[in-house]
């Protein structure tokens, strides 16, 4: 290992740097036309909205853009990068452009409802969220955080306390939307398979109900667990009540 080795180390360092530096801080390598980071992300979003995240593949995007598969790698380093960029794009939709209500509860509620809307509009966002990657610290992700902290300014909290309150609310929103999407897709699945879906699950549930093990939830089982899910604002208000009780 001499001079050449040192060059190799340099290369490896560059690779490591690339793997750790957020995508948004990297330049979009290209100069030629027809292809661009923006076009790639836009196409990916279109496909994901239409057919789900699983349908988003490098080959597919290239085809739709009239480019060759490997050309996309001039603009993104990996599919994970593309996912980061998609996440960032969606995070932008969560931002509230007009002024926030002065009342902190109304402001947080507005932000939470917007988050939910966006999540339902792009159900694949949930899959993306769990895809690891420092996706939350993109510019738009931070703008969301900024907006949320600003919404709480009336409470005059320490930054860390404000952040914790926001995290708790965001956690609830994420969990709720996740369940909402899940229920929605199950319903759609059952619908696609005809009503027989219900008819096949119901005896199974009835059997469990008759087993005597599930006394507390027998009424729920009898309704086929068709409960339309919780009430979003109700749960949110519970959380906000608790925050208000502590800090308000």
Partner DNA sequence: GCGGTATTTCGTACAGCGTATCGGCAAATC
Partner DNA sequence: GATTTGCCGATACGCTGTACGAAATACCGC
Contact 63, 46 (CB under 8 A): no
Question: 131 in helix, strand or coil?
Answer: coil
Within 169-208, the residues that bind a copy of itself by CB under 8 A are: 170-176, 178-179, 182, 185-186, 189-190, 193-194, 196-197, 200-201, 204-205, 208
177 burial (CB, 10 Å; 0-12 / 13-18 / 19+) is buried
Within 211-240, the residues that bind a copy of itself by CB under 8 A are: 213-217, 219-221, 225, 227, 229-231, 234-235, 237-240
Of residues 12, 14, 16, 30, which one binds DNA by CB under 7 A? 30
* Residue range at the interface with DNA (CB under 7 A); choices 52-60, 91-99, 162-170, 224-232: 52-60
Rounded-to-integer distance, Cα 20 and Cα 84, Å? 13
Q: List the structure tokens of 45.
A: 């979003």
CB of 22 to DNA, least distance (A): 16
Residues touching DNA, count (CB under 7 A):
22
Of residues 6, 11, 17, 29, which one binds DNA by CB under 7 A? 29
Closest to a copy of itself by CB, 29 or 229: 229
Q: Which of 43, 73, 153, 40 is nearest to 107 (CA)?
A: 153
202 touches which of DNA, a copy of itself, none (CB within 5 to 8 A by kind)? none
Tokens 């729920």 correspond to: 220
Q: Which of 181, 227, 185 is nearest to 205 (CA)?
A: 227
Radius of gyration of the chain (CA): 23
Within 53-72, the residues that bind DNA by CB under 7 A are: 56-60, 67-71
């Amino acid at each position: 290992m001499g001079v050449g080795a040192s060059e190799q180390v340099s290369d490896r360092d560059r690779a490591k740097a690339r793997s750790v530096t957020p995508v948004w801080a990297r330049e979009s390598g290209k100069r030629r036309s027809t292809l661009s980071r923006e076009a790639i992300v836009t196409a990916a979003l279109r496909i994901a909205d239409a057919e789900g995240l699983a349908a988003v593949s490098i080959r597919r995007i290239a085809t739709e853009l009239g480019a060759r598969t490997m050309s996309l790698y001039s603009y993104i380093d990996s599919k994970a990068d593309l996912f980061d960029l998609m996440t960032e794009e969606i995070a932008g939709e969560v931002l509230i452009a007009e002024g926030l209500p002065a009342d902190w509860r109304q402001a947080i509620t507005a932000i939470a409802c917007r988050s939910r809307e966006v999540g339902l509009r792009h159900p694949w966002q949930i899959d993306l969220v769990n895809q690891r990657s420092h996706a939350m610290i993109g510019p738009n992700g931070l703008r969301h955080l900024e907006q949320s902290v600003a919404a709480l300014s009336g409470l005059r909290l320490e930054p860390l306390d404000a952040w914790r309150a926001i995290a708790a609310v965001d956690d609830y929103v994420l969990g709720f939307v996740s369940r909402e999407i899940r229920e929605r897709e199950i319903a759609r699945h059952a619908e696609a398979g005809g009503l027989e879906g219900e008819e096949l699950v119901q005896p199974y549930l009835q059997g469990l109900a008759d087993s005597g093990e599930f006394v507390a939830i027998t009424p729920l089982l009898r309704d086929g667990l068709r409960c339309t899910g919780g009430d979003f604002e109700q749960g949110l208000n519970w959380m906000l009540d608790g925050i208000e009780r502590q800090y308000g």
